[in-house]
Amino acid sequence: MNWELVLLDLDGTLMDSAPGIIASVRHAYTVMELEMPTEQELLSFVGPPMTVSAVRHGVRPEQLDDFTAAYRQAFVAEGMFNNSVFDGIFDLLKDLKQACKRVVVATSKPEIYARQICDHFELSPHFEFVFGAALDTSRNSKALVIEHALKTLAYTPAGLVTADKMIMVGDREHDIFGAREHGIDTIAVTWGYAQDGEFAAAAPLHVVDTPQELSALLTGKGA
C-alpha cells in the first residue's frame, strides 16, 4: 500500500519510556496514599491516557486532578527524559524521509511534553508536526489527538490526503481504536507495551516485530 502520511505513536513505538512513566506513577500513588499497582499493572500505564489507566487501577474520578498533578510534578522533575529511543528508529525515520513520506507524531502524552522529548532526543527534525494531548480534558484520547492532527494538516500547503493514504503506527489498542474512528488503518508494533492478546482483539491491519520490518512495509521496499 502506498501510504503518504504516517502517524507515529511516541511511547512504546519510538521511545522506551517506561522507566520515567512508571517512576512518576509510583510517586503519584505514594503521594495519594493509594494501594500501589503490581509491576504488570504499572507497565500498562505506558501508552494510554493517564486518567484512563489511573481509574482502571484504583483512582476514583474525584481523585484524578490531584493524582494527575502529582504524576506531572514527578514527570517534569525527573521522568520526562528518563527514557531512550528504541534501536533502529533513527534508521526508520531516515528511510521514511528518503521515501518522501510525510511523518507526524500522534501521542496521548501531553503535547507540551512530547515536543520537549522529541527535541531532547533529536527526533523533531524528522517530523512535520508533533501532535499530542491537551493538559486539560479537551483533547485526552488518541481519537481526539488524531482529529487535532488532521484538522491542522488540512491547513498546510500540502493539504490533507484521504484516509486510505494514511497509516497509524502504534503499540497499544488505543492507537488502533483511535485511528479506526477516523477510517485510518494501523500497523501494530510488538516491541512496545501491549498486553497479551491485545492485538488479536483490536485487529490492526499489520503487526511487525522490528523497525526494519516496519520500514520495509511503509516504504514498499520489501523485507
Model confidence over 51-108: pLDDT tens digits?
Answer: 889 999 999 999 999 999 999 999 999 999 999 999 999 999 999 999 999 999 999 9
Q: What average pLDDT score do residues 16-35 get?
A: 96
Tell me what pLDDT residue 223 has: 47
Q: What average pLDDT score do residues 168-195 get?
A: 97
For 105, phi and psi rounded to 5 degrees? -95, 135
Give the H or E element holding residue 217: helix 211-219
Tell me what pLDDT residue 221 has: 81
Tell me what pLDDT residue 213 has: 98
Q: What domains appear along the chain, each with residue ranges and CATH number?
A: 5-16+84-219 (3.40.50.1000), 18-79 (1.10.150.240)
Identify the band that residue 222 occupies on the pLDDT scale cut at 50, 70 and 90: low
Told to judge if 65 belongs to the known catalytic residues of this protein, a careful annotator would answer no
The catalytic position among 9, 11, 16, 175 is 9
Tell me what pLDDT residue 48 has: 83
Contact 192, 172 (CB under 8 A): yes
Q: Tell me the average pLDDT of the chain.
A: 95
**Is the pTM higher than 0.75?**
yes
Tell me what pLDDT residue 99 has: 97
Percentage above 90 pLDDT, the chain: 91
Q: What average pLDDT score do residues 125-139 get?
A: 94
Tell me what pLDDT residue 54 has: 95
Q: pLDDT tens-digit profile of 144-178? A: 999 999 999 999 999 999 999 999 999 999 999 99
Q: How far apart are CA 88 and CA 91, in angstroms?
A: 5
Q: What average pLDDT score do residues 188-212 get?
A: 96
